[in-house]
Amino acid sequence: MFNAVIFDLDGVLTDTAHYHFLAWQRLAEGERIPFDEAFNERLKGIDRMRSLELILSRAGRPYAPEEKRALAERKNHHYQELIATMTSHDLLPGALNALDSVREAGLKVGLASVSKNAPLVLDKLGIADRFDDIVDARQIANGKPDPEIFLTAADHLNVEPARCIGVEDAVAGIQAIKRAGMYAVGVGEPGVLTEADCVIHGLDSFHLSDYVR
């Protein structure tokens, strides 16, 4: 039996994964660095500075630390412009039901997001009060695929990792869940999220009874 479900935010509960993509794309275009959806798949779940490093590794020149800081800030500015008008209507289909069904079944509900914008996005979506615990970038030293964020969430929820389900749309996120010793539900394509224990297309297909063992 499981005692907790720990959800990722971007790309799982709301489509901010697409906004991150658009913001990086705009930045890469400005720097004339090749960028597309396939490459973006490698950035999902990866924190801001490490995402930038991956993008800049495809540039034809080195970047100084202060240039990198300015670029990261610019990307965040693009991103914050895109999320400015978000409301609860931007929750993905099934998201609210999934959160409520977990709580109604008596399991703890956690959130594990490496985004520094997570508190802002949760506030816009109006769902911050639906979690027993929220772990974001400010509380961890190592981003996904390191298991730290999921292990921290499990610890805060006072649930053994083996009794947690993690829900993720990113390859790096699924790796983090598996390294934490949890059951991994992938949201997306089975051909991409190959290390997940099971893959669903979206949270409208999330049924807790499917995972009760």
- According to the binding rule CB under 5 A, does residue 145 interact with Mg ion? no
Write the interaction track for ligand BG6 spanning residues 46-65; mark x where CB under 6 A is met and - where it is not.
xxx--x--------------
Question: Out of Mg ion, ligand BG6, none, which partner does residue 46 contact, by CB within 5 to 8 A per kind?
Answer: ligand BG6
Which candidate, 125, 116, 115, 67, places its Cα nearest to that of 92?
125
For the sheet with 133-135, list strands across it.
133-135, 108-112, 4-7, 164-168, 183-187, 198-200
- According to the binding rule CB under 5 A, does residue 151 interact with Mg ion? no
Q: Which residues, numbered 17-46, are part of the site for ligand BG6 (CB under 6 A)?
A: 17, 20, 43-46
Which candidate, 149, 144, 141, 154, places its Cα nearest to that of 108?
154
> Is the distance from CB of 78 to CB of 106 less than 8 angstroms?
no
> Is the distance from CB of 2 to CB of 161 less than 8 angstroms?
no
* Amino acid occupying residue 182: M
Question: Out of Mg ion, ligand BG6, none, which partner does residue 40 contact, by CB within 5 to 8 A per kind?
Answer: none
- According to the binding rule CB under 6 A, does residue 109 interact with ligand BG6? no
Instruction: Out of 8, 132, 136, 169, pick the active-site residue.
Output: 8
CB closer to ligand BG6, 101 vs 203: 203
Question: Out of Mg ion, ligand BG6, none, which partner does residue 117 contact, by CB within 5 to 8 A per kind?
Answer: ligand BG6
Residue 57, SS3 per DSSP? coil
Q: Which two tokens stand for residue 38?
A: 């396939």
CB closer to ligand BG6, 4 vs 114: 114
204 assigned to active site: no
Catalytic residues: 8, 10
